[in-house]
Structure 1
Amino acid sequence: MIDLSSLPPPAIIETLDHSAIAATYKAKFVSVWEAVRAANPALNLPAYDVEMLETDLAMIAGETESFRDVVIRARINDAIKANLLAFARGSDLDHLAAFYDVSRLAGEDDDRLVERVVLAIQGRSTGGTEPRYKFIAMSASIEVADAKPYRVGKSPVIYVAIFSTAPDGVASAQLLATVNAALQASDVRMMNDTIVVSSAVRTVNDIVADVWLLPDADDATLARAEAALRSAWSAAQSLGRDFVQSWWVSKLMIDGLQRVEPIAPSRSITVPPTEAFSIGTVTLNARGRDY
């Protein structure tokens, strides 16, 4: 799927700089003042040389107008973003999704809705494409965290692995039935397709590491480190997401820890697209305190 966050900033969205806009107003005022002064010597107008005074009316007016200009331009930027899938949020995103015949599910957050919109766009084909079947699976229930349609070898059977929002990622029988019903619908399944829905394979590994605390760290630091790791993986976990050693070590390095040396797993875990990695027990061996 396209990673919208990897796209360069749209050129149509202006980078706002209040100081630069204010300088433009001041330069225009000085230009007009000097032109009037040159054209009307009888007026005996002084050269403009008080721009650094806080009481200078021209500076006050310029600052006011430049601020108003920034507000207007910012509103224009917001209006542009509301029409771009990478930036639209809330009700703006709802309207943009509706253009692609996608509606927000009850309790669905913006990121998940964006993902389904992209899948809906990619899945518009006369054949049963992988994005299309994944879109149908994720649209069947908010409890589907991820889905992976795949084949085994040359078999014509299409398998759809479901990763749920449950703490262990295992899809319940009811959720599998809901997704299966959605995929087997006559207006969804291609006539020649045989679809089998199942829960994604869950691989569990225990975490073991030696850790050193800072001298002033309290005794609850290790518990907080474990909680930080579990919370981070819960947010990142998905089908096919590798469990990279440097990643999980960095999540353990919270305030109070001086050093973390991983023991198990001894290397990064490569996860197949149809499987999900889960953290088992977390053992942090306190080896002392150090700077």
Structure 2
Amino acid sequence: MTTIDLSSFPAPEAIETLEFEKILADLMGDTQERFDVAGIPYDVGGLETDPVKVVDEAAAYRELLVRARINAAFLANLLAFATGSNLDHLAAFYDAVRLPGEDDERFRLRTVLIIQGRSTGGTEPRYRAVALGASTRIADAAVYRVGTSPQIEVAVTATDNDGVADPALLALVDAAVQAPAVRMVNDTIRVVAAVKAVANVVARIWLLPETSGTIMDALGAAVKADWAKEAGLGFDLTREWLVARLMKTGVQRVEIVEPGANIIVPNSEALALGTFTLTLAGRDR
């Protein structure tokens, strides 16, 4: 089951686009009409120093703030836009409670999974939501079966330790999914680390003539940081991705030696990056 991508939804039609100048024009038009009805000449509305216009500008700004507050109150009741305590109250309706230190985006994802997983039978979203709810150290989880085996596999990645879930973290998830109120009676569940392999990277780097050689020390760490941010379950390690991440300012050319081919990762697994061996091959324009 695919998790709903709330960010792909169009903006709600109930949200009003706010324009100060339009509100002011409406107020000035109303003011002009009232003066006309009263038979009072009024033809100085175009002057910035006109006291009536100054009052209308203040009123227009206050109306703008009120309309903005209405927009914000409406958005606070939508799962895609609610943040902070507003999200906490909205998620509580679905029995979702924020973990200590859990950010809005992770909590929002878990709430969607809890909603999707509400079923009389054990579902992939439900077990995934339970796994994510075991600890904020869980980066992601995949729930699947291997072939026709009746056993359910729950593979998890960690936010630290290069994505490798340690025994303590696996035990937390196992306790969560095996809980009597969670596991279906007929389900046999096994919790495993999603990282099945480690890939070492070897590359030759050419720098521009004016680039300091000290950049070589930072390149490996920068790519590892990019991998930690972008990679995860089912994320392939391609030579093109490595070249793109190694082409920092000052780098002229990159040649990937290892891996010798793209490493394709199944959706239920993750790959860890091992050692980085970067060789300064020369300088070129």
Write out per-residue CA displacement over residues 155-188 of structure 1, whole angstroms, 9 at most, x where no aligned residue.
Answer: 1111111212232222222222222122122221
The alignment status of 1:147 with 2:141, answered yes or no, reads: yes
Deviates more, 1:126-135 or 1:239-248: 239-248
Counterpart CA distance in 2 for 1:210 and 1:80 is: 54
Q: Quick one: which of 179, 183, 186 aligns to 2:177? A: 183
Q: Quick one: which of 193, 214, 229 aligns to 1:199? A: 193
Alpha carbons of 1:91 and 1:288: their partners in 2 closer, same or farther (altered >3 Å)? Answer: same
**Letter of the structure 1 residue corresponding to residue 283 of structure 2:** G
Alpha carbons of 1:244 and 1:25: their partners in 2 closer, same or farther (altered >3 Å)? Answer: farther
1:60 corresponding residue in structure 2 = 54
Q: Is the 8 A contact 1:206 1:280 kept in 2?
A: yes
2:31 corresponding residue in structure 1 = 29
TM-score, with structure 2 as normaliser: 0.87
2:102 corresponding residue in structure 1 = 108
Counterpart CA distance in 1 for 2:61 and 2:128 is: 47
Q: Secondary structure at the match of 1:176?
A: helix
Matches within 5 A, 1:1-291: 1-33=3-35, 35-36=36-37, 40=39, 45=41, 48=43, 51=46, 53-214=47-208, 216-258=210-252, 260=254, 262=256, 264-265=258-259, 268-286=262-280, 287-290=282-285
Q: Secondary structure at the match of 1:140?
A: coil
- Give the drift of 1:28: 3.2
Is there any run of 5+ residues in structure 1 with no aligned partner, and where? none
Report how many residues are paired.
Answer: 282
Alpha carbons of 1:176 and 1:72: their partners in 2 closer, same or farther (altered >3 Å)? Answer: same
- Give the drift of 1:49: 5.0
Percent identity reads 49
Counterpart CA distance in 1 for 2:55 and 2:247 is: 52
Counterpart CA distance in 2 for 1:220 and 1:197 is: 43
RMSD of equivalent CA atoms: 2.5
Alpha carbons of 1:216 and 1:30: their partners in 2 closer, same or farther (altered >3 Å)? Answer: farther
Q: Is the 8 A contact 1:163 1:200 kept in 2?
A: yes
Q: Is the 8 A contact 1:201 1:274 kept in 2?
A: no
Alpha carbons of 1:250 and 1:22: their partners in 2 closer, same or farther (altered >3 Å)? Answer: farther
Write out per-residue CA displacement over residues 54-108 of structure 1, whole angstroms, 9 at most, x where no aligned residue.
Answer: 3122332232222212211221122112111111111111111111101111221
Counterpart CA distance in 2 for 1:87 and 1:172 is: 34
Counterpart CA distance in 2 for 1:215 and 1:59 is: 63
Q: Is the 8 A contact 1:169 1:202 kept in 2?
A: no
TM-score, with structure 1 as normaliser: 0.85
